[in-house]
Amino acid sequence: MSGVDARQLWLRFEPYHDVTYFTPESRAATDALGCKGGWMGYFGMRAAPLGAASPELVTAVFYNFAPRMVSRALPDAWAVASPAEFLRVRLEGVDGALRRLLGEVGTAEIAEAAGLARAAAEAAPLGGRPLAAANRALPWPSEPHLALWHACTILREARGDGHVAALVAHGIGPCHALALYAREHSLDPAYMRTARGWTVEEWEEVSDLPGDLAAVERATDEAALAPWKALGAGPTERFVELMTPLALRIASANEAMRVNPMALDPVRELAVPGWNT
């Protein structure tokens, strides 16, 4: 598409989606449910659209987490609260986090961005994309800032599902993918390994294996452009314009964005003169 690429779009909607899990409001919401630690809350909230999913299913669709890390949270999370309850507190945490990070959420710009993002999300192909499909089956929130979050979540999970498909097609397993990504982006291997629950031995088994990560990223980006091609160049460029200050404001205020396994740095990559004036 003219003037907009898939990574630039991702950099706009990923920070808006990430308040789902990595904010004090999110942690407080799942703690109030009775979750034992932040990771139980994370797996419960992210997997909840799938229903009371087994650890095997969640490991498969999340892909880069070690099975043992998932099984420490699931199925125990479903004894703490039902998937419906996790979805309820997920939305409550998102609402609180966005109101704190953005201040005013009832703006015309957020409403316009929500409309554009919803059109793109509803155009996203769902074949082979279980997390995107499960989230799109949920009711749309009525408030524009939450509808925008819901659309960003669908688009984010659709991109992630496509990334998993590309990794599988290129023969790159979960731990191997993390090792390649750490090497490509100069991320601390110990941090990446620990963040996804792999042992030193498992990491060392794959750390020197070859893999064409660039080809995976190209395939991921191409698949992720489908909803934006359906939306059209003009509306997509307008979405980018509307989301840039939102993504920057969230990323600059959200401490969880400082270091992350995705090598996501919107403050550096999207900063434009006068964005916060």
Look at residue 1 and tell me if it is in a domain.
Answer: no
Report yes or no on 69 lying in a domain: yes
Query: Per the domain annotation, does 50 fall within a domain?
Result: yes
DSSP summary character for residue 257? G
CA neighbor of 92 nearest in space, from 167, 23, 39, 36? 23
Q: How far is 226 from 131, CA to CA, in rounded Å?
A: 17
pLDDT reported for residue 273: 42
Give the residue numbers spanning the domain of 155. Answer: 6-170+212-270
* Prediction pTM value: 0.93
d(CA 162, CA 127): 10
Distance of alpha carbon 162 from alpha carbon 168, whole angstroms = 10
Domain presence at residue 194? no
pLDDT at 252: 87
Q: Specify the number of domains making up the chain.
A: 1
The per-residue pLDDT for 2 is 52
Q: Round to whole Å and give the CA distance between 223 and 124.
A: 10
Helix (H) or strand (E) holding 238: helix 233-253
Q: Which two tokens stand for residue 79?
A: 């004894």
CA–CA separation, 96 and 276 (whole Å):
21
Q: Let me know if residue 180 belongs to a domain.
A: no
Residue 65 included in any domain = yes
Residue 42 lies in a domain: yes
Give the DSSP letter of residue 100: H
Q: Is residue 196 part of a domain?
A: no
Instruction: Give pLDDT tens digits along the chain (277 positions).
Output: 556 789 999 999 999 999 999 899 999 999 999 999 999 999 999 999 999 999 999 999 999 999 999 999 999 999 999 999 999 999 999 999 999 999 999 999 999 999 999 999 999 999 999 999 999 999 999 999 999 999 999 999 999 999 999 999 999 999 999 999 999 888 999 999 999 999 999 999 999 999 999 999 999 999 999 999 999 999 999 999 999 999 999 988 876 666 565 555 665 666 544 433 3
